Amino acid sequence: MKTIILPEKESWNELCRRPEIARKDLENVVRGIINSVKSEHDKAVHYFSEKFDGVPPGNLKVSSDEIRESAVQIHQYLMNAINIAKKNIESFHSAQLLTEPVIETFKGVRCWRKGVAIEKVGLYIPGGSAPLFSTLLMLGIPAKLAGCKEIIVCSPPGKDGNVSPLILYTAQLIGISEIFKAGGAQAIAAMAYGTESIPKVYKIFGPGNQYVTKAKELVQQDGVAIDMPAGPSEVLVIADNRANPEFIAADLLSQAEHGPDSQVIMLTDDLKLIERVKSEIDRQVELLPRKDIALKALENSKLIQMPTLINCIDFSNLYAPEHLIINTVDANSVANKVRNAGSVFIGNFSCESAGDYASGTNHTLPTNGFAKNYSGVSTESFLKKISFQEISAEGIKNLGPTIEVMAEAESLIGHKNAVSIRLKSLENG
C-alpha cells in the first residue's frame, strides 16, 4: 500500500481515482460481446462462456433437479446462517414498503402515488472466484417483497459447467427458480435483449467487474434500466489514534480480497496508526487463502495521513466510497458529516462484513464515486411509482382558471380548451 503524508488539497482529486482498465479497450471489447449476443443469442453466450471461463456449451437453464439437489451439498450450520441473514434482510427491507398518503392539493383535487412492482427483473450474481450467494439474498429478497412477477438469475458456472450449489440453495430458499448458467458481459446482454433460453427483462441488478459494469452502462443506452454503476468493491476507513489497528487491517483486507481491481483506503490524523496498520496488514495478508488477489488490490490502495479528522471526512465526501467505516472515539459525530457514501459503518465493532452478509442492510451499492448521486439497492429499487389524481367538479371549478391562465401564457390553447370546455359544461348544468 502507498503511504501518503499530508497531501495538498489540490492533489485530492488525483488520489480519488480508482484503478481501471483502459476505457477505450474496455468499451470496444464489451460492445463486441453485446453485439454478438444480440445477433447470435444462445450461441454467443456459449462462445464467450467457453472463451472466458472455460465452460463447454450445454443447457443454459439450471434444471429443477439441480436446484433441488443443491441442499444436500450445504452444511446445516451454513443453512442456519443463511436463514438468519434472510430474516434480517427481510425485516429491514419490508419496512421500506410504505403506503403514501392521498394529498388534497386544492379543494376537490386529490393526488397520490402508488408503488407498482417492475414486472420482469434480472439479477446478476457473481460466481467466478467467489460465488456471492449473499448478493442473491440482497437482490432476491427485495424483489420478492416488491412483488416482481418474473425474476431471473444469471450466474457464471464453474469449470464443471455448474452454478454453485450455494447460489442454487439460496435461490430455492427465496423462491426463485429461473436460473441461468451465464456470466460476464454476455449475461448482461442476454438479459437485456433476450435469447432463445434467457428471457428479456426490464431492469438489471447486480454488481460485477468492469466488464459487467460497462455492459450495464451500454445496455442502459438502449433503454434497459439498471440499478446503478456497481463495479469493483471498495472501502474507506476513517480512524483516529484510539482505533484498533488489527480491526482496521482486517477491514481493509476484507475488501482487498474481493478482486485485484478493488481499492481500499485508510484516512487518519495519526501517523503512528499508519505504521501499526501496515504491520497488521503484512501479518494478516499472509493468512488469507486469497492472498495473491488481496496483494494485487493493495498495490492500488492507500494509507493517508490528514492534518485533522475534519480533513478526513472532507476527503471521504469527495471520494464517495461504496463502504465507509468510521472508527473514531466520537464516531456518531463524524457520521453526521457524511454526505456521500453507499453504506456507513459506525464504531469500533461495526465491521463492513456485517453489512455484506447479515445485519440487514443491502450490500449492492454504488462504487467509483457514484455514491454522490446514487443510492444502494432497496425494495423501492424494484418498484416504479405511478402518480394518480382525481379531480371533482368542484375541483376543476376551483383550479381550472389557474390552468387556463398558465396554458395561454405558453400558447398551448389546446391545453386551455380541455379545461374551458369542462368549465362551460358545468355552467350549462
Find all residues with CB under 8 Å of 187, minimum gap 6, and list them. Answer: 45, 124, 154, 155, 156, 180, 198, 212
Q: Is residue 383 part of a domain?
A: no
390 is a catalytic site residue:
no
Q: Are residues 76 and 99 in the same domain?
A: yes
Work out the pLDDT band at 128, boundaries 50, 70, 90.
low
The number of angstroms, rounded, from the C-alpha of 383 to the middle of its chain's C-alpha atoms is 15
Which tens digit of pLDDT belongs to each residue from 342-373? 999 999 999 999 999 999 999 999 998 999 99
Mean pLDDT of 90-114: 97
Q: Are residues 241 and 295 in the same domain?
A: yes
- Could you say which of 338, 370, 402 is where a domain stops? 370
CATH number at residue 405: 1.20.5.1300
Which tens digit of pLDDT belongs to each residue from 231-277? 788 999 999 999 999 999 999 999 999 888 899 999 999 999 999 99
Which tens digit of pLDDT belongs to each residue from 53-63? 888 888 999 99
Count CB neighbours of 404 within 10 A. 18
CA dist list (Å): 25 to 20, 21, 137, 211, 338: 11, 8, 33, 11, 35
**Partner residues linked to 86 by β-bridges:** none
- 41, 93, 258, 323: which one is catalytic? 323
Q: Are residues 276 and 249 in the same domain?
A: yes
Q: Are residues 133 and 264 in the same domain?
A: no
**Partner residues linked to 111 by β-bridges:** 103, 389
Q: Is residue 17 part of a domain?
A: no
Q: Is residue 385 part of a domain?
A: no
Work out the pLDDT band at 168, boundaries 50, 70, 90.
very high
Q: Is residue 280 part of a domain?
A: yes
The answer, yes or no, to whether residue 312 has pLDDT greater than 90, is yes
The answer, yes or no, to whether residue 24 has pLDDT greater than 80, is no
The answer, yes or no, to whether residue 6 has pLDDT greater than 80, is yes
Q: Helix H segments across 150-224?
A: 165-174, 184-193, 210-220
Name the nearest CA neighbour of 32 among 180, 211, 157.
211
- Could you say which of 198, 227, 256 is where a domain stops? 227
Q: Are residues 32 and 83 in the same domain?
A: yes
Q: What is the pLDDT of residue 429?
A: 82
Exposure on the CB side of residue 258, measured as CA atoms within 13 A: 22
Count CB neighbours of 224 within 10 A. 20
Q: Are residues 166 and 305 in the same domain?
A: no
Total domains in the chain come to 3
Q: Are residues 205 and 246 in the same domain?
A: no
Helix axes 245-256, 271-285, angle to 10 degrees: 50
CA dist list (Å): 347 to 209, 244, 311, 312: 30, 11, 19, 16
Q: Are residues 223 and 236 in the same domain?
A: no
Q: Is residue 187 part of a domain?
A: yes
- Which helix (H) or strand (E) segment holds residue 388: the answer is strand 383-391
- 322, 352, 363, 404: which one is catalytic? 322
pTM of the model: 0.92
323 is a catalytic site residue:
yes
The answer, yes or no, to whether residue 27 has pLDDT greater than 80, is yes
What does the DSSP assignment read for 103-164? EEEETTEEEEEEEEE-SEEEEE---SSS--HHHHHHHHHHHHHHT-SEEEEEE---TTS---
Q: Are residues 71 and 160 in the same domain?
A: yes
Q: Is residue 97 part of a domain?
A: yes
Q: Are residues 153 and 245 in the same domain?
A: no
The answer, yes or no, to whether residue 163 has pLDDT greater than 90, is yes
Q: What is the mean pLDDT of the chain?
A: 95
CATH number at residue 152: 3.40.50.1980
Domain hosting residue 216, numbered range: 23-227
- Could you say which of 227, 249, 271 is where a domain stops? 227
Q: Are residues 213 and 238 in the same domain?
A: no
Work out the pLDDT band at 129, boundaries 50, 70, 90.
low
Cβ atoms 114, 386 nearer than 8 A:
yes
Q: Are residues 409 and 327 in the same domain?
A: no
Which amino acid is it at 97? L
Q: Is residue 6 part of a domain?
A: no
Name the nearest CA neighbour of 154 among 139, 141, 142, 144.
139
